[in-house]
Each structure stands twice: as structure tokens, then as C-alpha cells.
Structure 1
Amino acid sequence: MTSWWHEQRLDAAMAAIEACGATSVADLGCGDGDLLCRLAVSPRIERLAGVDVSAEALARLRLRLGRLGSNTPVEILHGSMTDGTGLDGYDCAALIETIEHLEPAELSALERALFTRMRPPTIVITTPNAEFNGLLGVPPHRFRHPGHRFEWDRARFRRWAEAVAARHGYAIACTDIAGQHPRLGGSSQMALFTT
């Protein structure tokens, strides 16, 4: 069962993917496949890949995809999103609530894999908005999930996204998603990179 916030994140990611006209998508850090399963039944999508470090999550993903009965080819890869090997040629890469699971020092490896090796025309990244944590009852000295290595406020995320976009020749748009507090923004934030 997913939360309302997570459904809102998935809706925002799906809308961005549909708007860019992608027919092939690589989901990095796909987990159990919440986004992949939505994409697998989309009539526009012709090819999918899911990458995750958790073999258990990928096993659950395979079961979910089997129950869908979709004809869309899905390549399931056990590995790290910081690698990017074998994932060239996709129209879009999606990283939904995943970058915060990396150690901050690993972000440069992710950047190379995603923006240099893979280099899809569209990249969708969502991550928690740390400013919203108080509304969720998360104490200031804690993260939302024990697997998170960092959580950024909107200004920090925007600075990171703009710097990455500038280094690699992408346009960037950052938006609040998953709720809308007048001062604190959304529960999550999304960066849409386009060439």
C-alpha cells in the first residue's frame, strides 16, 4: 500500500514522462516497481528498464509485472544507479525518491552515469523536501527514512540541479510536488532536466 504523498509523486513523474513524449524509460532505483508498473501499462511506452540494488525488491517487481500481463518489454537489472552501464538509448531516466539513499560522495558517480554515460534527453528526479519534515512529524535531527543519507531543502536541491544541468548542457525546471504548503512547498520536489 502506498501513501497519498507517494501517489502524488508518481502522478507528477508520469505527467512529466508523458509530456516529454518518451517511449522508453529507465527507472533507476526502481524498488518494487511502483513507477515501472504504471509505465508498463501505458500505451505510449515501448521499452522499460528497472535498476535496483535490492534483489528482494526486484523479485517482488517481477511478480508484480507478471500479474499485469503487459506486453511492454522490461529489462530488470540488479545493480547500482551510479553505474549506468547498458542503459544508453533511453528517452527518459526516472529517479523517484532515490538519490537521498546515496551517500553524498556518491552523487558525482551518479552524475557521470546519468548525464555522461546514459545522457537521455529527459531526466526526472524527485527527492524529499526537508522543509516539509516538520509537518510530517519528523524531528529536525532525523530523516524520514532510516535509509536516507541526506534530505535537502528546496534551495539546496535547486542549486545542485542547476549546477548539474549547467555542467552537462541540460535545461532545468524545479517544482514542488506531493502537497502544497504556502510557505514550505510540497512533501517532495522534482527536477526535470531536458536537452
Structure 2
Amino acid sequence: MNTSLSRRHALGRVALLAMPATLLACAGSPVRDVSQDKPALDLRTYFNGTVDAWGIFTDRSGEVVKRFTVVMDCRWQGDEGVLDEAFTYSDGSTQRRIWRLKAGPDGRYTGRADDVVGEASGQVRGNTFSWAYTLALPVDGRVWNVEFDDRMYLMDDRVMLNKAVMSKWGIRLGEVTLSFSRRTPVQGKP
């Protein structure tokens, strides 16, 4: 394999391995003020119970590289939440990530997971959640730190859309697009 193809293959593998992290990745400078956009997003309400997600990873050229589904078991106790994510990829592989989130003042949130470098941080404004962090990804015996910059947009009480941009050394690796759907609660249960 020539050097150019080998490098592209390695970057593609980094991007594919990073896909699970995108469920809660969000940040960046706002394009416009979304603080009044409706419906207003409350992360503790939306990510409480079971949430299903469907997503795709596209490479830098926009080609779909991989599809995946996620089932999230989400629980909050006061200002602290646990989001247990179970991923299934189109190639049959699976992965699990457990986020531990903490709600702060003014719609701010912080979070940690085993493969997150440092602490993730984000903020809810209106119907939008912006979230940023660095994920440590093992690739070919090395660990790559990949930055995530993405946003979640609440559409209604059940559906939320997510678009994430992944980058390394300021170079865009690709994007992840997700659709979340909260399961309708069973009558009499949250």
C-alpha cells in the first residue's frame, strides 16, 4: 500500500473509532443566538430513560463510511447523570461507553468517560446543546487524541438531531450525523 493510501486508511480508522463519542459531543462558536429557540431543551429530562439513536459517519469527501445504532440507558439523580451507551455498527462490531455527567449553573454541563481526555464541557441554550471534548482513540498501536465539535437540536419532546465534526491537528476528519428518539414512557412510569 502506498504512503498516501496508508495515511488515509489510518485517518479513516481514527474517524471510525471516534464515532461513539459523538452522542454527546457538542461545542464551537455559535452562528447565531439560539437562546430563545423552542422547544427548550432540558438534558436531564430528554436523556432520562431509554433513548435510541441512528447515525452515519461521513469522511472528508462526504462519503458514508459506516452506519450505526445506539441504545442509551440514561438515569439522573439530582444534578448527576449516567448515560450508558451500547453501539452496534454496520459491520457487526459493538462498543460501550458510559458517560458521567454533572449539571451546573446556566445550562452548563461537564462530563467524563474512560476514553475522554480531561473533562468534556458544554452548555444548553434554547433548543441547542453545544458540547466539546477530546477522545483518546487507539489506532495501530498508537493513541490519537481527536477533537469533537458538535451540536444537538431538540425538534420535539421525542426527536433530537445531532451533527458532529471530528478533527485532529485542526484537520477535519469527517462528520457524524445522528437522530435520537426518546422511547415513549410506559403509562404511569417515567
Q: TM-score range by the shorter chain?
A: under 0.3
Taking structure 1 as the reference length, what is the TM-score of the superposition? 0.25
- Structure with higher strand content: 2
